[in-house]
Structure 1
Amino acid sequence: MKTLNHFKLIALLLVSMLFQVGSAQTAKSVVKNTALKNENYFQISPRGGFDTPFYSNNTPYIDYNSGLDIGLSVDYYWKWFGIGADVDYISNSPESTYPTQGLLNSRNILLTSFDLSENGIKRFFYGIGPDFKHQSSNGKWVYELNTRAGLSSIKGGRTELRETTTAPVPLGQLLNFHAGYNATNVVTAKAQVRVNYFFNNYFGVHAGAYYMRHFDVEEMTDPSLGITSSYQPFISTVGSNGQNVTTLDPKNGPVTRLKTSKSDISSIGVFAGISLKLTSNKTEKVCASCPIYSLAVTARDKYTKEILPQADVVVKNLKGDVVQSGTTNTYGVVVFNNVTPDNYTIDGKLYDIKMESNSTVSNEFKPKITLQKEILYTDLNFILKGKVVLCNSPKPLSDVSVNLKNLVIAEQKNTLTNDKGEFIFNVAKNSTYEVYGKKDSYFSQTETILTKDYDRNTTLFVKLEVCMEEADCGKAIGLKNILYDLDKYFIKEGAKKELNRLVRFMQDNPLINVEISSHTDSRASQEYNATLSQNRANAAVDYVVSQGIARNRIKGIGYGETQLLNNCGDGVDCSESQHQLNRRTEMKVICPN
């Protein structure tokens, strides 16, 4: 059973992977053999798989295990719609789960001998119904939804357990029993999804999953026993030795159903098989002397005239069907080969923003000459192309949640960096934005962008780099622009932006605690510097707390002149810039005890 369950799990994962791979192929592939994309055709699909049933027959001590499913589908499609028929043969095995180990009868006699018979259940289904399909642009991947309604026959499943310790068969006490099924013309519904991959115009493979339900299935009444089902209640206790003891209930006789009843049977299954396509569609023969037609599409910005790599381009016919698709290269160009001369529409998108379309007419195509067309990016907003790196290094940071905050209209957007640390946003003109990153245990810069400083006629891409520092516990990170007036410790307006960066870091990492430290240079006395730095650290803590951070998560320490970064101690002649290096405010994550 465990092996079978593992097999079913793997089969389901394979079906999911087929869907994902097929979708990726559809989105990015360029059509090279349009003959694969048929509209009207027959499809024959034999298959094999595993079926897991669910029986609701009120017999509690019988499990119906998974079994084999062998089936065949025959479908005919008109474009995306079709009609089909299914035939399925399904075999399941009932298994008695009535406890027999250490079982005592009502007279406390240990029952050691049993007679068990378990007959398999065979289900045979045939039905018809509508089909729905979607083909990838190259016709190789076909996704189907098949619905069926029909009739089934369900036979077998008789399960009987007797104890033969006190008397031989058939006199031994009946412990667990179900008469099984002998039902015909059972109304049945089935729905299945199927993913096909075609290697050529005629042959492919498929995988899928289904749900089937049989309605009002009548159970049998055993002709010799005159009952439909029965089981003997029992009592489970714990013996003096600590082991479980099961005793047949002396006060209650068997729970027996004399009359037949009707209940639903349902099942789910996974399958795989081959797909055979029978089509009368005319296909264009390939010959060495046939003329070759090509189409090259260049993506360009309307205002700056610069070429646009990574633009998605699709070529559609007059019916709106995608004939070919692709992505522009580093030169802003995508070339489509083996194009049949026709009237086409060329659409494009750059980072999900629609571009101005272009078109072709059939007489523009010339043999062995590539037809050149342009599509234009006309959006008046800018494209922010950013990158997140580790501070003081070129190392990119992936999976960073980048937040873009519009300070003019109170709008926020989020995106994740890719494996190169890159991210993209569309930003409006005449706006002010703040950009920062969020990643566990990283302290991000906050960058400000004023798009009013850019001219859309000369600039499309606004480039930005955001750096983040690893906030390891005990590691000091400098807070920039935390400046105080001479001998003062009040927080100035210019320092609030940097402290707000610390507030955001603590909000994004609610489980960490932080120390703010203030340092002075060596001028003035040690006692004075210690007091001044402590007052400045306290002022910074008070501001952070005023922004909603709990006071028990942050503490301030004034180190005075005890942690100089250079040799400018008492009595040493140093320049103002050297003293300035020592006057600083830092934060560090407090290490857990």
Structure 2
Amino acid sequence: MQTKNLSIAYGHLPVRRKQVFCLFFAALLLLVSLGSRAQSGTEVNGPGRGFRFGLNAGYDLFPNYKNNTPYIRYKGGISAGLTAGYYWKWFSLGADVDYLKNSPENTYPTDSVFDPVNNVLIKDFALTKQDITRIFYGIGPGMHYTDRQGRFAAELNGRVGLASIKGGSLALTGRNGSAEQVLNYHGGYNLNNVLSLKGSLTARYFFNDFLGMHIGAYYIRHLNTKDAIGPTGYSAAYRAFEPNGDQVRAFTEKDLRKIGNSCACDISSIGAYAGVTLRLPSRKNTRTPVPAPVVVPVPTETCNTCAVYALAVTARDQYTKEVLPHTDIAVKDASGNIVKSGVTNSFGVAVFSNMTPGNYAINGKLYGVDLSAAKTAGNEFIANGTLQKELLYTDQHFILKGNAVVCNTATALPGATVVLRDRVSAVEKNTQTDGAGAFIFHLKQKSEMTVFGRKEKYFSQMVNISAADYDRRTTLFVKLEMCMEEADCDKAIRLENIHYDLDKYFIREDAKPELNRLVQFMSDNPGVRVELSSHTDSRASHAYNQKLSQNRADAARAYLVAKGIAGDRIVAKGYGETRLLNRCADGVNCPEAEHQFNRRTEMKVICPGR
């Protein structure tokens, strides 16, 4: 039997790259001419306008090549690109150059392939393949949003252009002895000036007026991409097979399927990238037109406003002198319009660049409380420098900054209702924890308050705060962590500080705060029933301990009923010494601390239906 040796060869077609480069740089020249007029003056024309240039590096994640060879898959690969554009208020016009690389992978099975013509099992395989490179040049419009400070931008761009696609050939042959069989073949691609479309979504963050970073994703599609016709006269070839009962794949010479025509299918891919951005903000034309004609010589026009001015506002507490992050700052003109706004950073400072010297009013607000205002005069601004102003927090009350967490963990509890209750007047204030479990209250001097939380199926700690313990001259922020324990049904929760006098079972004063916490929990969860249990240590007789613990549980239940909790919602149970938590059983010598651990009162939510 005669066999054909298969090799990979490409006829290198002339590449018309000059045309493509001319197209790209003509578009770039158009952008420069459009933006040059906006650069002639000196006043910044808004944070969104001007040139932006980007350098990208990424990965082509999901390539999709359709062609005439069935046993090939394509792997993702590196990508790199350049982008340039001119940006108006919300519209942009730009140009992209992208380089993408993928690799073909053979999926034709090479285990148990049998050649019935030569009556041999093929065991020797040879695979040759070539990476695919794509270069895309495109221009097109875009839409973008840039925030007022010019720091964050998001944009959606579309591009249409041409691409060159090279490589991607693959050949798999099998040999046993001198007979060589073609198993799988694809001629790859050798294309120029392929019409292509691209869409991208990009998020940018600028560190200053000029430099930033970005991340994004793209989708690119190449239309009517024809397979290369190899030297054998066809673009693809493969051997069909069907496994028999022994899982042996057999074929004959007639099984070699040759495809002489190109698929002319589309190629597409999705990828992600990150990179750096260079921004050149545009300027307004502020020069005064010179009337014509003039009789006297006009002196050479000079720019008297080319200097750059900035304003830095520091928020500070009047009494402690500490700086105040997260303070809202607004700069208003003489008509009361806000011309700049921002929030102070971790150093308590908000910086406003590109200021026009003038008379401004500066206002600040921290957690709803106004700071003392400041003013600027036009002659105070410093050319190529920063004018410093300070706002003072003069309120004499404390700020309670709290965090709600799950007890014995660092897990935050967002969405919990936090209550601040005046212990004298019983007046309450409510707020909600944010996504990090944080909450804020204003705390009057000399006030006596209780803080607790409300959240379904959570048993909250109750924290007493006395503002008299703090000095406003040295403290502004009172910090607090409040824990809430998840009250699953049948989960025992120990009530701390429920102590009884020896052989007694009346409720002592020091036990009432913890029982009040249980009253609050049952008031906030009116559909909940609880078991209130009392436990003793192993000392004294079993019968005595059982009776004492039942009396103590009944006394705790009576206290809750006296506070307005319905009696049928509480089951009082004395367990005596039957549920010790450690080794201290009868006859075991234990220190007092270990016995104390067993003397406890617990509550647990009774599961519905019991």
Q: Sort the TM-score into its range (normalised by shorter chain).
A: 0.5 to 0.7
Instruction: Give yes or no for contact 2:154–2:203 (8 Å, CA) kept in 1.
Output: yes
Matched, 1:404 2:417: yes
Question: Which of 57, 69, 87 pairs up with 2:66?
Answer: 57
Q: Which residue in 2 is equivalent to 1:456? A: none
Q: How many residues align?
A: 482
Letter of the 2:329 counterpart: V
Q: Which residue in 2 is equivalent to 1:24? A: none
Q: Which residue in 1 is equivalent to 2:108? A: 98
What does residue range 120-519 of structure 1 map to in structure 2 within 5 Å? 120-132=131-143, 145-165=156-176, 168=179, 172=181, 174-181=182-189, 184-193=193-202, 195=204, 201=210, 204=211, 206=213, 208-214=215-221, 216-220=223-227, 222=229, 224=232, 226=234, 228=236, 230-235=238-243, 247-248=249-250, 260-261=262-263, 263-271=265-273, 275=277, 281=283, 309-316=324-331, 322=340, 326-327=344-345, 341-344=357-360, 346-351=362-367, 353=368, 355=370, 360=375, 362-363=377-378, 365=380, 384-386=400-402, 398-401=410-413, 403-406=416-419, 413-415=432-434, 423-426=438-441, 435-436=452-453, 445-447=461-463, 465=480, 479-480=496-497, 497-499=516-518, 516-519=533-536
1:222 Cα offset (Å): 4.1
1:128 Cα offset (Å): 1.5
Q: Which residue in 2 is equivalent to 1:578? A: none
Q: Which residue in 2 is equivalent to 1:41? A: 50
Which digits, 9 at most, give the CA deviation of each residue in 1:247-296, with x for residues without a partner?
2378x95777776545443323455666555667499x9x9xx9998665
Which digits, 9 at most, give the CA deviation of each residue in 1:545-571, with x for residues without a partner?
x999999xx9852149x99xxxxxxxx
Within 1, Cα distance between the matches of 2:317 and 2:353?
A: 21
Instruction: Give yes or no for contact 1:530–1:559 (8 Å, CA) kept in 2.
Output: yes
1:190 Cα offset (Å): 2.7
Q: CA RMSD in A?
A: 6.6
Within 2, Cα distance between the matches of 1:549 and 1:264?
A: 71
1:413 Cα offset (Å): 2.7
1:73–1:443 CA distance, 2 compared to 1 (3 A): same
1:527–1:46 CA distance, 2 compared to 1 (3 A): closer
Which digits, 9 at most, give the CA deviation of each residue in 1:81-129, with x for residues without a partner?
4211012233322121322245334577321233434233232322222
Within 1, Cα distance between the matches of 2:330 and 2:279?
A: 27
Instruction: Give yes or no for contact 1:51–1:267 (8 Å, CA) kept in 2.
Output: yes
1:531 Cα offset (Å): 1.7
Within 1, Cα distance between the matches of 2:233 and 2:72?
A: 19
Within 1, Cα distance between the matches of 2:239 and 2:506?
A: 85
What are the ranges of 5 or more consecutive residues in structure 2 without an aligned counterpart?
A: 1-42, 286-301, 422-426, 468-474, 487-491, 524-530, 582-595, 605-610
Matched, 1:531 2:510: no
1:346 Cα offset (Å): 3.6
Q: Tell me the TM-score normalized by structure 2.
A: 0.56
1:102–1:356 CA distance, 2 compared to 1 (3 A): same
What are the ranges of 5 or more consecutive residues in structure 1 without an aligned counterpart?
A: 1-33, 240-244, 452-459, 505-513, 564-580
Within 2, Cα distance between the matches of 1:405 and 1:558?
A: 37
Which digits, 9 at most, give the CA deviation of each residue in 1:400-456, with x for residues without a partner?
4374345999977335779xxxx4334899xx9851499xxx9963247999xxxxx
SS at match of 1:533: helix
1:178 Cα offset (Å): 3.2
1:322 Cα offset (Å): 3.9
Matched, 1:85 2:95: yes
Q: Which residue in 1 is equivalent to 2:607? A: none
Q: Which residue in 2 is equivalent to 1:74? A: 84
SS at match of 2:121: coil
1:54–1:465 CA distance, 2 compared to 1 (3 A): closer
Within 2, Cα distance between the matches of 1:215 and 1:299?
A: 59
